[in-house]
């Protein structure tokens, strides 16, 4: 595995790969790797000649009161894990490498961001698109891999790639979970022992919501029951959001026969956990 920290070396290696007419599978991450990231790598290995992974905690997608400074990092372990998983090029830029000067232009997401994380974290998706634009230009991937856990991000990135004609095919990989259903996340390390024991209620509540949708219950009833299910456990501080939308537009539900997402964010003392279920053709 080749470890690269500067843009010029990366671009030279990408040129060499392109010259050989090899395909590139790109897995952008913020590090602190876990099984969810490995699933993306496995998918990338299956349909590309070369897998490139980036490890970069991107400051522009964090708000002033969020956990940029405390976000879990372990570069040494991440390097070992990436090598074990078969990553060929690991890009480890610094903030200075990715943002050498203040930006003269601004990328702003317009649609699919007025609710959920887009509303709760103003500017978050603008920062995501900014760093992805840079990484996409540097890596020039054939395919790029994202997890369904970040479904709103996936929808925003899909729109971005389509709007600006990036010659990239996006792949969305199902959420990887612990045995008890908790979605794998780098932020799970923030949970206390009791919070970790209770956190699987999030996914269980979403599965209950899926059942209620199949029973053709109305939206208000589904959300009320889902909230009550989560609140049966008392270790979380609050439910930051819980709602249902048409997917991937994130507009109000107008057709229950088309894909619907129910998404939730639960705030614990130090961990903010998100999860979702996407129902394809909810009622037909």
Residues with a catalytic annotation lie at: 37
Ligand-binding annotation for 35, yes or no, is yes
Ligand-binding annotation for 246, yes or no, is no
Closest CA to 150 of 54, 276, 281: 276
Ligand-binding annotation for 147, yes or no, is yes
Instruction: Check the CA dihedral 250-256-261-262 and report its sign.
Output: positive
CA distances in angstroms from 204 to 134, 163, 193, 226, 228, listed in the order given: 38, 36, 19, 9, 12
Ligand-binding annotation for 176, yes or no, is yes
Residue 7, phi then psi, degrees to nearest 5? -65, -45
Helix (H) or strand (E) holding 267: strand 260-267
Ligand-binding annotation for 181, yes or no, is no
Residue the block writes with tokens 């998404």: 263
Ligand-binding annotation for 150, yes or no, is yes
Ligand-binding annotation for 159, yes or no, is no
Ligand-binding annotation for 186, yes or no, is yes
Ligand-binding annotation for 37, yes or no, is yes
Please provide the distance, in angstroms rounded to a whole number, between the alpha carbons at the two ends of the chain: 48
Binding site residues for (R)-pantoate, as ranges?
Answer: 61, 153
Per the annotation, binding residues for ATP are 30-37, 147-150, 176, 184-187
Known binding site: residues?
A: 30-37, 61, 147-150, 153, 176, 184-187
Q: Which residues are annotated as a binding site for beta-alanine?
A: 61
């Amino acid at each position: 595995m080749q470890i690269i920290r500067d843009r010029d070396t990366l671009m030279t290696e990408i040129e060499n790969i392109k010259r050989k007419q090899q395909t590139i599978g790109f897995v952008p991450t913020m590090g602190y790797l876990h099984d969810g990231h490995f699933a993306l790598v496995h998918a990338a290995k299956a349909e590309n000649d070369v897998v490139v992974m980036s490890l970069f905690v991107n400051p522009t997608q964090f708000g002033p009161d969020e956990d940029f400074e405390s976000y879990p990092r372990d570069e040494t372990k991440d390097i070992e894990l990436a090598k074990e998983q078969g990553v060929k090029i690991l890009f480890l830029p610094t903030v200075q490498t990715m943002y050498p000067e203040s930006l003269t232009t601004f990328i702003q997401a317009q649609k699919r961001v007025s609710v959920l994380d887009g509303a709760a974290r103003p500017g978050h998706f603008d920062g995501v698109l900014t760093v992805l634009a840079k990484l996409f230009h540097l890596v020039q991937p054939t395919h790029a891999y994202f997890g369904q856990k970040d479904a709103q991000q996936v929808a925003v990135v899909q729109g971005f790639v389509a709007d600006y004609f990036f010659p990239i095919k996006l792949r969305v990989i199902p959420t990887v979970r612990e045995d008890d259903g908790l979605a794998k996340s780098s932020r799970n390390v923030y949970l206390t022992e009791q919070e970790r024991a209770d956190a699987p209620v999030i996914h269980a509540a979403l599965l209950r919501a899926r059942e209620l949708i199949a029973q053709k219950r109305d939206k208000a009833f589904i959300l009320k029951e889902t909230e009550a299910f989560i609140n049966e456990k008392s270790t979380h501080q609050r439910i930051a959001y819980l709602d249902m939308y048409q997917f991937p537009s994130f507009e109000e539900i107008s057709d229950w026969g088309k894909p619907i997402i129910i998404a939730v964010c639960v705030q614990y003392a130090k961990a903010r956990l998100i999860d979702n279920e996407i129902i394809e053709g909810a009622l037909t």
